[in-house]
Structure 1
Amino acid sequence: MKKGRTLASVLFCSFLTGMLFLYSCKSKTSSEQTTEQLEKLVASPAFNADSAFQFVKKQVEFGARVPNTAAHRACGDYLVSTFKRFGLEVTEQNFTPTTYDGKKLTARNIIASFNPKATKRILLTSHWDSRPFSDQDSVSKMKPVLAANDGASGVGVLLEIARVISFSGNKLNLGVDIILFDAEDWGNSDKATDKFSGFCLGSQYWAANKHVPNYTAYFGVLMDMVGAKGATFPKEGYSVSMADGVVRNIWGIASQLGYSNYFIDKVGPSITDDHLPVNETAKIPMVDIIHIKQNDPERTFFNQWHTAHDDMENIDPKTLKAVGQTLIQVLYQESEVSV
C-alpha cells in the first residue's frame, strides 16, 4: 500500500459526518462503553505467534503472489483449503479487474465465515496478493515483491485467529467474516488517475458486490503490514474520522494487554487502503491497523516496503502476537455485549 493524505481531506467530509452519526447510533451498547467494559477483560483463548509465523512463511514459500501467476493461484488454493480445514464456510468471489496500466487480472476475494448464521457479525480483513514490481527498491525495481509483511503478515494473523476461534473451548457468541482481498497492490500513485490510484481493486469490487445480499457487520478491522520488527500502529487518520469508537476500543484493549508500545496513542496520517471502499460503499465502519513509522520524515512505512527485501527476515512473532491477541480479545469482549 499505499498513499498518505491529510486528515482534513475535503473528499470525505460529508461522508465522514454521516458515518460518525451512523456508528454512534449502532454502537452505544457496545464499543462506545469502553470505560466500564475495559476495566475487566473477559477470558479469551491465546493467540499462537509461532503458528501465525508459519502461516506467513507458508505464503512466502509460494513466491510472489502476483495475480495471473502460478504462485498466486497455488497460494489462493492453499488459503481456501486451510479455512475449510478449520471448519469455516468459504466463498470464492472471482472477478476480473483492469489495472491502471490496462492489464486484465484473474482475481478472487476469499471470504471465510465463522458461525455464518449469527446475526451480529464482525468483519476482519487483509489483502493476500503481492505487488508486481519493487518500485521503492534502489536496484531491483521490476522484481515482484515477496510481500512477507505487506500482505502475508495480515493473512497469517487472520489464519491463526480462524484456527483459534474454531478450536477453542471458549465459545464466541457472534459471527466473524474474514475477507482476504485480492488485487490490492497493483497501483501507482504517480501514474494512475482514479480515486484510489489503482490500488484496492479487490475491496472496491467486494464493497459494490457483497458476497451476501444486504450483508452488514457491526464493525470491521483491516490489517496491513502487521508483522515487522518494532512495528508501530498509530491511529490511522481516516479510521479516527470514520469509526473513532472502534479505534478507541481496540487501542484501549491493546493497552490493557500490555501492547501500547505497538498500538500508539497518537493520530497518524490518513492512508488510502482497503478500509475506504468498505466504509464508503459498503457502509460498514472499518478501521485500519497499519504500520506507520514514527518521527521519520523520509519514510511513512517500514524500510523494506515495496522492495525486493520484504521477506521473512522482517517478520517478528512478537508483533504478530500483539496484533493477533488484541483482535482475539476484541472479539471476545464484543461477544459479551448484546446488540
Structure 2
Amino acid sequence: MKKLTLLLFVFVLAYGCKTKDSSEQAAEQAPALVKSPAFSEDSAYKFVQKQVDFGPRVPNTKQHDACAAYLAATLKGYGLDVIEQKFKAKTYDNQTLNSTNIIGSFNPKAQKRILLAAHWDSRPFSDQDSLVKNKPVLAANDGASGVGILLEVARVLSTQNPSPEIGVDIIFFDAEDWGNSEVATDEYSGFCLGSQYWAANKHIPNYTAHFGILLDMAGAKGATFFKEGYSVQMAERFVNTVWNTASRIGYSNFFINERGGAITDDHVAVNKIAKIPMIDIIHTKPNNMSKTFFDQWHTNDDTMEHIDPKTLKAVGQTLMQVIYQEAADQPL
C-alpha cells in the first residue's frame, strides 16, 4: 500500500506539473482580452422584473399580448430593427396558440452576425409544484431571466460609439414551454414550437449567423452552467469559446468546465433545421442530483426572490465579452 500511495503521489505530481505547463502555454497563445463595455446587472434585473409584473405570459392571454408589445417597443427604443413574426402553433394537447417570435437586429448590414435567443412565454401549468399544479408559472427564471439579459445587451450595444463592427440578432422565441415530456409526440415532446417555426421560416430568407447562443434559466441564485450535451455534440467549438471566455473574466464558478446532460431546448431546432450552430447556456445541476434544473422549475415559486443580479452579471458580461472578441476577430 505504501508503494502504491507513493506511485500515485508521483503520478499526480507529474500530471499536475504537466497540466500546469500546458495551461500556461494555452494562456500564452490565447488572444488578448479586448475591452468590452460593462453589463449592468441592476438594469437586467429590472428588465426581468418588468416582465414578471405583467403576470404569467401564457399565449392567448392579455398578459402575453401586453408583454409582446413591451418587448418589441423596448428593442425598437434601443435602435434595433424589429420584426414580429406572428404564427399559430398547435400544441400536443390540440390547443392553437396565437404566437409571436420577436426579432431585433443590431447593425443589420454587418455580414458577420451572432444570434442570441431566449424564450419569453410562460408555462401554462405548474406541474412540478407539490401543491397546486394547474396555475400558470410566473416564470421569473424560466424565461424572463434570459430575456432580461438580452434586453440589457441590446441597451448596452445601443450606447456604444463607435459600435462594434459585428451584427447581433436577438430572438425572443414564443410557445416554448407548452409541452409534456411524458407525451412522445416528437423529439421535442411538444416544446420549442416558436424556435421550430422560426428555424423553418427565417425572418429573412437565407438568413444565417456565425453562431448562436441560447439562454434558458439564466438568473437564479447559485446557478451552475454545465456544457450542455447537444451543444457539445453540434457546436463544441462555440461551447469552448463561451466557457473559456467566462473563465478568463472570472466566472468559472458559474460556467462549469464539465459536460452535463443533453437538454431538448430551442437550440436544437436552430442547429438541425436552420443549420446554424447554436449552444445552450442553461442552469442544470450535477448528474447525481435528484432534480435536473433549479429548485423552483415549473412551480409556483419561480418568482423574483430567487433571481440573483450576480448570476445575471456573469452571463451578461460573458456575452458582451464574446461579442467584442468576435468583433475584433479574436475569439477565445
Q: 1:165 aligns with which of 157, 162, 178?
A: 157
Aligned length: 306
Q: CA deviation at 1:121?
A: 0.5
Q: CA deviation at 1:195?
A: 1.6
- Farther-moved stretch of structure 1 (165-174 vs 319-328): 165-174
2:203 matched residue in structure 1: 211
What does residue range 188-337 of structure 1 map to in structure 2 within 5 Å?
Answer: 188-294=180-286, 296-337=288-329
- Residue by residue over 1:117-136, the C-alpha shift from the partner in whole angstroms, topping out at 9 and shown as x without a partner, is 11111000000000000000
Q: CA deviation at 1:298?
A: 1.0
Q: Contact 2:54/2:63 (CA < 8 Å) preserved in 1?
A: yes
| Letter aligned with residue 301 of structure 2 | H
In structure 2, the gaps of 5 or more residues are 1-25
* Matched residue SS, 1:106: strand
Q: Contact 2:260/2:287 (CA < 8 Å) preserved in 1?
A: no
Structure 1: distance between partners of 2:328 and 2:322: 10
| Letter aligned with residue 42 of structure 1 | V
Q: Contact 1:110/1:181 (CA < 8 Å) preserved in 2?
A: yes
Q: Contact 1:232/1:263 (CA < 8 Å) preserved in 2?
A: yes
Q: Contact 1:45/1:170 (CA < 8 Å) preserved in 2?
A: no
Residue 91 (1) aligns with residue 83 (2): yes
Q: CA deviation at 1:170?
A: 5.0
* Matched residue SS, 2:231: helix
Q: 1:43 aligns with which of 30, 35, 46?
A: 35
| Letter aligned with residue 180 of structure 1 | F
* Matched residue SS, 2:74: helix
2:136 matched residue in structure 1: 144
Q: Taking structure 2 as the reference length, what is the TM-score of the superposition?
A: 0.90
Residue 127 (1) aligns with residue 97 (2): no
| Letter aligned with residue 165 of structure 1 | L
**Aligned-pair Cα RMSD in Å:** 1.4
| Letter aligned with residue 262 of structure 1 | F
| Letter aligned with residue 109 of structure 1 | N
* Matched residue SS, 1:63: coil
CA 1:137–1:209: 2 relative to 1, 3 Å: same
Q: Taking structure 1 as the reference length, what is the TM-score of the superposition?
A: 0.88
1:58 matched residue in structure 2: 50
Largest Rg, 1 or 2: 2
1:24 matched residue in structure 2: none
1:153 matched residue in structure 2: 145
* Matched residue SS, 1:124: strand
1:113 matched residue in structure 2: 105
2:96 matched residue in structure 1: 104
In structure 1, the gaps of 5 or more residues are 1-33
2:72 matched residue in structure 1: 80
Q: CA deviation at 1:294?
A: 2.3
- Residue by residue over 1:252-297, the C-alpha shift from the partner in whole angstroms, topping out at 9 and shown as x without a partner, is 0100110000000000000000000000000000000000012543
Structure 2: distance between partners of 1:243 and 1:201: 22
Highest relative contact order (Cα 8 Å, sep 6+), 1 or 2? Answer: 1
Q: Contact 2:115/2:213 (CA < 8 Å) preserved in 1?
A: yes
Q: 1:70 aligns with which of 48, 62, 81?
A: 62
- Once the two structures are aligned, what percentage of the paired residues are identical? 66
Structure 1: distance between partners of 2:192 and 2:27: 35
Structure 2: distance between partners of 1:119 and 1:267: 32
1:19 matched residue in structure 2: none
- Residue by residue over 1:181-214, the C-alpha shift from the partner in whole angstroms, topping out at 9 and shown as x without a partner, is 0000000011242220000000000000000000
